[in-house]
Chains A and B, each alone.
Chain A
Amino acid sequence: MGKTLAEKIIAAHAQDVTDVSAGDLVTVRTDVVMANDITAPIAIESFNAMGVEEVYDSGSIMLVPSHFTPNKDIKSAEQARTLRQFADEQALCHRFRVGRSGIEHVILPERGLVLPGDLVVGGDSHTCTYGALGAFATGMGSTDIAFAMATGTTWLKVPETMRFVYHGQRQPWVGGKDMILRTIGEIGVDGALYRAMEFIGPAISALPMSDRLTMANMVIEAGSKCGFMPFDDVTREYVEARATRPYTAYFADDDAQYVSVHEFDLSEMEPQVACPYSPDNVQPISQVKPEQVDQVFIGSCTNGRLEDLAIVAGMLEQSGREFHPDVRVIIIPGSQAVYLDALRAGWLELFTLAGAAVSTSTCGPCLGGHMGVLAADEVCVSTSNRNFRGRMGHPDARVYLANPAVAAASGILGRVAHPDEL
């Protein structure tokens, strides 16, 4: 019987067994163990409580301060310091300081630190982003991360896999964000619970890496354990410029077993919006009420890459317009490298002249941390990944999740808007 990508990558990392199937419980080797400034402090507490003295491999542990950095208050500063002290004590090879860093899920792929065929566990639910490269990558909590730091292993139940096939030509203003929102809207926030999601089809083959990262990033919003893009020329081109070590590409077998197959035709799909208060409350933009907005946020591990900012810059240049005077537009490049590239392209000046606040990289407003927390009853169009009640601030604030083009159009027109309205 053929194997899925999840089965193949887990089998290649399994201890004691060489063949695994969905449902098996296995112990696996980890290639990369990641945690951030919120999850690492508890992971470090647990690691110390375990009585372990040294991490399993100082080269594979990556502690990335990203959520409340640059430190938003004293307690956050102390949490970030905990990461630095642990990295010093354990002589970790990779360091991620403010000014040389960014959002973990932007910088780890960008720097070739996560690679195809890797098995990655991260103390952040959006660790699944790396599935865009063909890695098995899944989010875990802090104590699981402590165990992986101590032993270089974790336990997993091999997931069943759902397959998602995308046909047809993408319409203008439609990208990976719309494809994954539509998918989550179809299957629901627990539609892939405990399962893996494999994405294939001609529209995936034609999809640039930044859009693939956006799609894989949000599989957790369907409850999924991990998601996979196929390894192809797009992957190879992205990875070969960056890889810091050798990697292995895996391919699903033609006769692999899938629990379900879902087909999507993009030829009629317009930009999609997830309305308050759930990522599966998805409507095509033409069906969304053009509500007035108070804030627009463009950034995050979902849509904080250079290609996302390029869309916004292109719209400002072509329309010659500024952002609406009543809207706070906050644009946050996802990494120092994205910031620098956007700066050199002249886009940060363009955004600033158009009336946007442009910040150094942080997760910031996505989780209501800082740099754009919402007040009661405020409305925000955000390119991030969650619009749960209270996610970006006050529980009565209302967040619409959308792609960067819809966010920019909404920022310009002052209401939820289709980019074609410019």
Chain B
Amino acid sequence: MKLEGKVWKYGDNIDTDVIIPARYLNTTDPVTLAAHCMEDADQSFAQNVQPGDIMVGGRNFGCGSSREHAPISIKGAGVSCIVAESFARIFFRNAVNIGLPILESPDAARDAQPGDTLSVDLVGGTITNQRTGQTYQASPYPPVVLGIINAGGLVPYTREILGIEITG
């Protein structure tokens, strides 16, 4: 699967309180969460993000609270993929589990500038910066993570491994 989107670039240690502040955690609705995504760091994000845009972070992206609302708000905002130098581990699992593509590539993340366009090949794990023409190889996923990604998230993956048919 290939993605292409404009870069929203953020720095190191973007924490889940900044991604979605706790004052909005009295809902699980992706649309409501998306409307407040990143608002304490970048008020323009939720208003101007376009479907397919790509979020780029520095080190330890998604650190802090375990709130799954954080990747849900980013996915709900229309972001197609997150590229970062490194991810906090709970956030990494949460993004994979809800089917939000997430790629670790320190060089791609460092080189990307706001407004750049990135092309991402999720199958090959490559990221191309269209401004510079440079292509980067993201860190490969562990097999179990690949299984969850290929199933479309942990909910469909669980149905698969437990042999539960979708009904209704």
Specify which of A25, A223, A368 lies most central, judged by the most chain B CB atoms within 10 Å of its CB: A223
Give the chain A neighbours of B17 by CB distance below 8 A.
367-368, 386, 388-391
> 0/1 per residue, B145-168, Cβ < 8 Å to A?
000000001110011001011110
Specify which of B22, B143, B153, B164 lies most central, judged by the most chain A CB atoms within 10 Å of its CB: B22
Q: Is the CB of B41 within 8 A of A389?
A: yes
- Interface residue from A45, A75, A125 paired with B65 (Cβ < 8 Å): A125
How far does the alpha carbon of A142 sit from the alpha carbon of B89 in the complex, in Å?
14
Q: Is the CB of B88 within 8 A of A50?
A: no
How far does the alpha carbon of A228 sit from the alpha carbon of B168 in the complex, in Å?
46
How far does the alpha carbon of A123 sit from the alpha carbon of B68 in the complex, in Å?
9
Chain B nearest CB from A189 CB (Å) reads 6
User: Number of A-B pairs whose CB atoms are under 8 Å?
Assistant: 142
Q: Is the CB of A124 within 8 A of B164?
A: no
Q: Is the CB of B162 within 8 A of A190?
A: no
Q: Is the CB of B93 within 8 A of A25?
A: no
B137 at interface by CB-CB < 8 Å: no
Q: Is the CB of B143 within 8 A of A25?
A: yes
How far does the alpha carbon of A55 sit from the alpha carbon of B90 in the complex, in Å?
23
How far does the alpha carbon of A195 sit from the alpha carbon of B26 in the complex, in Å?
31
Q: List 11 A-B contacts (CB under 8 A).
A: A38-B22, A38-B67, A50-B159, A68-B26, A141-B91, A143-B97, A150-B158, A155-B144, A223-B63, A369-B22, A388-B64
Question: How many positions in chain A have a CB within 8 Å of any CB in the partner chain?
Answer: 53
Q: Is the CB of A125 within 8 A of B66?
A: yes
Apart from the given pairs A125-B65, A151-B158, 17 other A-B contacts in the complex at a CB distance below 8 Å: A25-B143, A38-B69, A42-B72, A52-B158, A123-B66, A140-B66, A140-B93, A157-B142, A189-B13, A190-B88, A223-B89, A368-B21, A369-B22, A386-B64, A388-B64, A389-B18, A390-B40
A73 at interface by CB-CB < 8 Å: yes
B15 at interface by CB-CB < 8 Å: yes
B35 at interface by CB-CB < 8 Å: no
Select from chain B the residue with minimum beta-carbon distance to A159. Answer: B89
Q: Is the CB of A368 within 8 A of B22?
A: yes
How far does the alpha carbon of A194 sit from the alpha carbon of B153 in the complex, in Å?
21
- Interface residue from A39, A50, A151 paired with B68 (Cβ < 8 Å): A39
Q: Is the CB of B60 within 8 A of A190?
A: yes
Q: Is the CB of B159 within 8 A of A141?
A: no
B80 at interface by CB-CB < 8 Å: no
How far does the alpha carbon of A380 sit from the alpha carbon of B18 in the complex, in Å?
18
Chain A nearest CB from B76 CB (Å) reads 13
Q: Is the CB of B93 within 8 A of A141?
A: yes
User: Which residues of chain B have a CB within 8 Å of any CB of chain A?
Assistant: 13, 15, 17-18, 21-23, 25-28, 40-41, 59-60, 63-69, 72, 86, 88-91, 93-94, 97-98, 142-144, 153-155, 158-159, 162, 164-167
Q: Is the CB of A144 within 8 A of B154?
A: yes
Lowest 7 A-B CB distances belong to which pairs? A141-B94, A75-B26, A190-B60, A141-B68, A390-B40, A143-B97, A395-B40
Q: Is the CB of A147 within 8 A of B89?
A: no
A359 at interface by CB-CB < 8 Å: no
Chain A nearest CB from B27 CB (Å) reads 6
A172 at interface by CB-CB < 8 Å: no
Give the chain B neighbours of A123 by CB distance below 8 A.
66
Specify which of B25, B144, B153, B166 lies most central, judged by the most chain A CB atoms within 10 Å of its CB: B25
How far does the alpha carbon of A41 sit from the alpha carbon of B60 in the complex, in Å?
26
Select from chain A the residue with minimum beta-carbon distance to B167. Answer: A51
Give the chain A neighbours of B159 by CB distance below 8 A.
50-51
Give the chain B neighbours of A395 by CB distance below 8 A.
40-41
Residues 340-382 of A contacting B (Cβ, < 8 Å): 367-369, 373
Give the chain A neighbours of B23 by CB distance below 8 A.
368-369, 373
- Interface residue from B25, B63, B153, B162 paired with A189 (Cβ < 8 Å): B63
Select from chain A the residue with minimum beta-carbon distance to B148. Answer: A155
How far does the alpha carbon of A53 sit from the alpha carbon of B108 in the complex, in Å?
44
Chain A nearest CB from B167 CB (Å) reads 8
- Interface residue from A41, A143, A225 paired with B154 (Cβ < 8 Å): A143
Specify which of B88, B165, B166 lies most central, judged by the most chain A CB atoms within 10 Å of its CB: B88
A79 at interface by CB-CB < 8 Å: yes
How far does the alpha carbon of A42 sit from the alpha carbon of B97 in the complex, in Å?
12
Give the chain A neighbours of B41 by CB distance below 8 A.
389, 395
Q: Is the CB of B97 within 8 A of A144?
A: yes
Give the chain A neighbours of B59 by CB distance below 8 A.
190
How far does the alpha carbon of A41 sit from the alpha carbon of B67 in the complex, in Å?
11
Give the chain B neighbours of A143 by CB distance below 8 A.
68, 94, 97-98, 153-155
Specify which of B68, B72, B142, B164 lies most central, judged by the most chain A CB atoms within 10 Å of its CB: B68
Give the chain B neighbours of A386 by CB distance below 8 A.
15, 17, 64-65
Residues 236-271 of A contacting B (Cβ, < 8 Å): none
> 0/1 per residue, A41-73, Cβ < 8 Å to B?
110011001111000000000000001100011
How far does the alpha carbon of A157 sit from the alpha carbon of B164 in the complex, in Å?
26
How far does the alpha carbon of A193 sit from the alpha carbon of B164 in the complex, in Å?
35
Chain A nearest CB from B43 CB (Å) reads 10
Q: Is the CB of A49 within 8 A of B155?
A: yes
